[in-house]
Structure 1
Amino acid sequence: MQSSIPNHKLIIYQLLPRLFGNANSTNKFYGSIEENGCGKLNDITDMALQEIAKMGFSHVWYTGVIEHATMTDYSAYGIKNDDPDVVKGRAGSPYAIKDYYDIAPDLAVDVPNRINEFQDLVIRTHLNGLKVIIDFVPNHVARTYASDMRPKAVRDFGEDDDTSNAFTSENDFYYIPGQHFKVPAGYNPGGDAFTSPLKDGHFEEYPAKATGNDVFNAAPSINDWFETVKLNYGVYYLDGHKTYFGHVPPLWYKMHHILTYWAEMGVDGFRCDMIEMVPVEFWAWIIPKLKSTHPELIFIGEAYDKNQYYNYIHNGKFDYLYDKVGLYDAIRKLTCNDDWSSTWDINAVWNTHSQGIDEHMLRFMENHDEQRIASRFFAGDAWYAVPGMIVSATLSTGPVMIYSGQEVGEPAEGAQGFSGDDGRTTIFDYWGVPSHQKWLNNGKFDGGGLSEQETSLRNFYNTLLNTVKDNEALRNGEFYELMIANEHQPGFDTKMYFYLRYTKEQRVLVAVNFNRAERNITLRLPDDLLKQFNLNGNTNFTDLLTRKVYKTADIHSGVEINIKSASGMLLNF
């Protein structure tokens, strides 16, 4: 399948500035910003960006830069304190936005200058040949949301709402009239050591608003997104999800103004949170409207219902969607060596996506929501990700993403505060990322603290991503499945996977082995391919990852290869 985005494949590096530049290694459970430290936007220096670019990345997704609710006191700067009873973690969730027009004060060296520091980062990123992606969280905001940085002519969320009405498409929020919001019982914000006059198990909200994960009552549970309130796009959930789009709801225009504000600041794209919780009609309206003035903007949607992928791409106008419920899930099972895992599941993924959407799927093995590969909750060894990453990066022309720390095998060990011991690096707490800090090396960004194994792992990612970036077949070529042609070959099993990526000028045979033992096989190319490429007799195959050469006297007889355990190769011929 030929890509509709010629000569370009997005290779995205996701990082949380709060974590990325933090050299503090204290890592106290529920520690404060003073105790555990916090990375700043200014820590993402030219040197850091040059190293990111050298790895082959084209885009950086700066996660958590917009101001969100926090337990840290910034009242000295005129920023109202948030009630900790409706904040998760000392640092707070990046997905509980407090002011859509502002930058998180945690990330600034000079808090009053925080917008300028972000603008400088955008400029710095562009000057180093990279593009900027930030989050757009359309479904919900913090319970304490109040924008003090919006232009005076812009009305704030809820400012004109009729709070006596549970639902009207003119309101920005949903209400539970006549009831006070109730903080979930048993919530201990900030842990036992954290004290605050506001920490009293109560948050005044009357009438109560609906909670972000579609809880339409005044008392969400501790397992709900109780720190957030759901935004109203004109869908009446309590009346059979009826829609009221007769005229454009006010919220739509407010969101258009917000996205335009960031686009005009130089942001190149938006990773859009939980897009399926917002009506597709909104996306069909806003994305073309924004692209009419900023045609180069890209929109990436976090999506989990594969039955709706086509809808959100072709009707919602998204450029790319997460391929979590698809390739990620299939590769995770193979990486963990699950008994019932099979590479035929990968075939099922691209078959499902074969109707014009595969090139729109964003592939990854880690992000801020998922468990670290090296954690005991996933594979327990970062090297087991090698075959899965090769497939994720080369299966199609769509984007591939790496999460900061993945490339050096961060295991995310231990509980961090609100974030428990679950194999994830916290997005709620002030924290240092130990393996990443070895590469950070106190701001030198030279990997000076990495072990030999960690350095080797990073070199693998570097070689893989740059190979994908520089190779026309992998970046923009067509796809040919080779499993059926080889399923009866001696040595074949369903923990191996084979396919071809090709253009008129280049051909790469991809072979991976998810087994925990090496495998030998003679790989065959179907006669129709050999005829198409006019191949006969002697042919040399060069592994682009190791530069090892495999020779065959007769291409019609196949090429004999040995694939090490949990490994793979990119055979150029």
Structure 2
Amino acid sequence: MTIKPLVIALGLITGSVVLSACNSTNDNKTPITDTQNLAAQHSDAKPVVYQVFTRLFGNTNSNNIPWGTKEQNGVGKFADFTPKALSEIKAMGVSHVWYTGVLHHALVGDYTEYGIVLDDPDVVKGRAGSPYAVKDYYNVNPDLAVNPANRLAEFEALIARTHEAGMKVVIDIVPNHVARNYQSLSAPQGISDFGANDDTSVTYARDNNFYYVTGEDFSVPSSQDYQVLGGEPHPLADGQFTESPAKWTGNGARAAQPHIHDWYETVKVNYGVKPDGSYDFATLPAQYAQLDYRAHYAFWQDKKLPDSWYKFRDITYYWLDKGVDGFRYDMAEMVPVEFWSFLNASIKMKNPDAFLLAEVYNPTLYRAYIEQGKMDYLYDKVGLYDSLKALMQGKGTAQQVLDVHASVKDIAPHMLHFLENHDEQRIASPEFAGDANKGKPAMVVSHLLSQSPTLLYFAQSVGEDGSEMAGFGKPSRTSIFDYIGVPAHQAWMNQGKFDGALLSEEQKALRAYYQKLMNMASFSAIAQGELVSTPVTTRSGQSATNVIGFGRQSESQRLVVISNFDADAPQTVSVTLPAGWQGNAIDRLEQHGQVALNNNQLTVTLAPLASAVFELEN
């Protein structure tokens, strides 16, 4: 979810967690108890997650009218993920497909003939709506179905096709907030809607699902800079939305009329955190940080817990039973870590191999959410992504990248690496790097630095620049709020042939580069190996500021990775290898051929933005 100013984030963790910096960069060993599960997932290759914005993937329409309807601008369907499309995704080394925007969220469109209540555009961002304003947790977005009445079955068929293609399925769970107009048409018998049994006469009660602004009605935020649907008329776009009493807004804003920059289209879910921040549930004893999910599961069995905890457990069980293999948790740090202990332990008891990924941005919380919250993986955004972006933009150094990675040495295998996702700017956008090729050395480092999973965003490998003005928000990010075509992706898709025939030669070369690189996830030195320090110096003997080098080794393989971030000039560098690293080095990535080592020194000249992945002959 796009980060905006937070008014209050209730109940993050119990106690305090200190981020410890380390000098060593050996990321192979970690004290986390559940690493056995990670090792099982990494047995043949480390995970590669392909994030795809489901609504946009199969759309062939290129009108791209700002604020356009789905009839004007088109919309992709589950059916567009054909066996051919999935095989091409798999060929990129992908192990997991994160289908973003699957759950039924609020949108501006008329599906009343299917019994779906109209959503009010005054509390919908964009025309297609935010995937993080979920309206019904027990069904999927009707936009994505060829036959909306059959939408759940169409998604179940996609799950089956994805599995047949040899990949696993990940979907979003948004625990911190739901759409203001939440209404499930598909909940199993005996499951009530969020808020259906709340006592709305009080601000807070433990088993209320929401917080309330008692005695006040909700008011739509006002702004001179923003017009609903870009000012286009709509019968419900009247600046009014009935909600009495008003609920707290998703980011914790407590006013009956939130600010236009609040998450006003959503309401905050109550997990038993009182308005003063104190907890209305049992806290997790410190020793549980060292215990596995089975112990966590047992701890919660005799506890009386807030209703929202059980609601989200039931939701995840529902999707696991449908064949979903894992979840990406939106804004997980805004939900108490004890809840994650309960939920993730419950999930692992049902599916020990479930893939659990959390959006957490505060480094001081990382270890708590992994050790106590039993997360498999967290975003490495504030550290690795931010430092790589700075280096790509000429604002950072190679050492800064290595230093931030060293600071998470003990949890490195748990930190998901990425250069693009739905929240971040496209590499090729002028606001980021302005050239997709500048992503090549950064992706080499991001992908090969650790055993951790790598996320590849759809159209990243063909240089999409996110320049389309879709409606809500600004270009540089591919819109998640409106109906839009994604030009570089459409060229690869080629009207559903998925053969890349319409790509330029430069785009074809970029995709081939990504394909070779991403499949290095199966190299043993990458999947199971440890990081080895290999200092990089220039001809003058100085530390290289824009060249990153490191080694990775397993029992059967030794690799030396070197990337030149200079976009204008070649760099000649010497890499000091550990004692015993002898023999010839063969580049497995580009065209550097074979390089001989001399007294544990590997000297190579890298062209601008070039990288090498040298394998040492045993």
TM-score class, shorter-chain normalisation, is: over 0.9
1:494 corresponds to which residue?
545
Please, which of 213, 230, 234 is the counterpart of residue 272 of structure 2? Answer: 234
Matched with 2:229 is 190
User: Structure 1: which 4+ aligned runs deviate by more than 4 Å?
Assistant: 485-489
Confirm or deny: 8 A CA contact 2:419 2:443 kept in the other structure.
yes
Corresponding letter in the other structure for 2:400: D
1:56-135 aligned at under 5 Å gives the runs 56-135=93-172
Once the two structures are superposed, the pairs formed by residues 112-511 of structure 1 within 5 Å of their partners are 112-186=149-223, 187-193=226-232, 195-236=233-274, 238-239=275-276, 241-246=277-282, 247-338=304-395, 341-355=396-410, 357-421=411-475, 423-466=476-519, 468-483=520-535, 486=537, 490=541, 492-511=543-562
In 2: Cα distance, 1:86 partner to 1:329 partner: 32
- How far did 1:555 drift? 3.4
Unaligned runs of 5+ in 2: 1-26, 30-34, 283-303
- The answer to whether the Cα contact below 8 Å between 2:46 and 2:526 also exists between their aligned partners in 1 is no
Letter in 2 for 1:512: S
Deviation at 1:332, TM superposition (A): 0.1
- Counterpart of 1:518 (choices 544, 558, 570) is 570
CA–CA separation in structure 2 for the residues paired with 1:278 and 1:99: 20
Q: Which amino acid aligns with 1:363?
A: H
1:551 equivalent in structure 2: 595
Aligned pair 1:16/2:53, yes or no?
Answer: yes
Amino acid at match of 1:347: L
Contact 1:60–1:130 (8 Å) recurs in 2? yes
Offset, 1:188: 2.3
Q: Residue 235 of structure 1: SS of its match in structure 2?
A: coil
Q: CA deviation at 1:486?
A: 4.3
Give the residue type in structure 1 aligned to 2:175: P
Following the alignment from structure 1 to structure 2, what is the Cα–Cα distance between the partners of residues 328 and 141?
28
SS in 1 for 2:163: helix
Task: Report if the CA contact (8 A) 2:426-2:466 is conserved.
Answer: yes
Q: Structure 1 counterpart of 2:352, which letter?
A: P
CA contact (8 A) 1:550 1:561 kept: no
Query: How many Å separate the matches in 1 of 2:227 and 2:566?
Result: 45
Distance in 2, matches of 1:256 and 1:428, equals: 28
Corresponding residue for residue 32 of structure 2: none
Deviation of residue 557 (structure 1)? 5.1
Structure-2 separation of matches of 1:337 and 1:196? 46
Q: Distance in 2 between matches of 1:234 and 1:265?
A: 29
Take 1:254 and 1:526, find their aligned partners in 2: how far apart are those partners? 53
Counterpart amino acid of 2:307?
P
Deviation string, structure 1 residues 434-486 (Cα, Å, up to 9, x no partner): 010000100000001100000000011001011x2331111211111212x74
SS in 1 for 2:599: helix
Aligned equivalents of 1:112 and 1:79: distance in 2?
A: 10
User: 2-side partners of 1:347 and 1:491: how far apart?
Assistant: 17
SS in 1 for 2:228: coil
Residue among 561, 565, 570 paired with 2:608: 565
Whose RCO is larger (CA < 8 A, sep 6+)? Answer: 2
When the two chains are superposed, the root-mean-square deviation of aligned CA atoms in Å is 1.4
Cα contact 1:489–1:521 (8 A) shared by 2 = no
How far has the Cα of 1:487 moved from its partner?
7.4
d(CA) in 2 for partners of 1:488, 1:268: 50
Contact 2:427 2:439 in 1 (8 A): yes
Q: Provide closer, same or farther for how the CA distance between residues 557 and 80 of structure 1 changes in structure 2, counting only shifts above 3 A.
A: closer
Paired residue for 1:540, among 568, 572, 584? 584
Residues 338 and 373, structure 2, Cα contact 8 Å, conserved in 1: yes
Structure 1's unaligned 5+ residue stretches are: none
Q: Which amino acid aligns with 1:242?
A: S
Q: Is the 8 A contact 1:540 1:549 kept in 2?
A: no
SS at match of 2:229: coil
Output the CA distance in 1 between the equivalents of 2:320 and 2:269: 22
Give the C-alpha shift of residue 416 in structure 1.
1.2
Q: Is the 8 A contact 1:492 1:521 kept in 2?
A: no
Supply the distance in 2 between the matched residues of 1:65 and 1:197 (Cα, whole angstroms).
27
Instruction: Supply the distance in 1 between the matched residues of 2:63 and 2:357 (Cα, whole angstroms).
Output: 35
Partners of 2:314 and 2:152 lie apart in 1 by 17
- Output the CA distance in 1 between the equivalents of 2:589 and 2:466: 28
Separation (CA, whole Å) in 1 of partners of 2:512 and 2:54: 23
Equivalent residue of 2:409, what SS? coil
